[in-house]
Amino acid sequence: MLWSAIPATVVVLLGAAGVLPDAADWALVVNVLVLGVLGYQSLSERRRPVPLRILGGVVTALLGLAIILLDIAMH
């Protein structure tokens, strides 16, 4: 789980260096993608069928997106 923070950190650092505009928004996108990969990997380790792995990855990514949208709605 600690490794999952590295891609978003790289995106934020690129934004701080002026290379990537809107880095905070892109970091959220990267985090949602990482959640999808972690959901897929979790079911892959349990040797589930590929369609179920993909569904698990999509559901995990959508859960992350829902949390982001709830945070936006609360602020």
What are the pLDDT digits (tens) for 6-53? Answer: 999 999 999 999 999 999 999 999 999 999 999 999 999 999 999 999
Look up the pTM and report it.
Answer: 0.88
Chain length of the chain? 75
Distances from the Cα of 32 to the Cα of 22, 35, 69, angstroms:
16, 5, 12
What are the pLDDT digits (tens) for 42-69? Answer: 999 999 999 999 999 999 999 999 999 9
**Alpha helix (H) ranges present in the chain?**
5-16, 23-45, 50-74
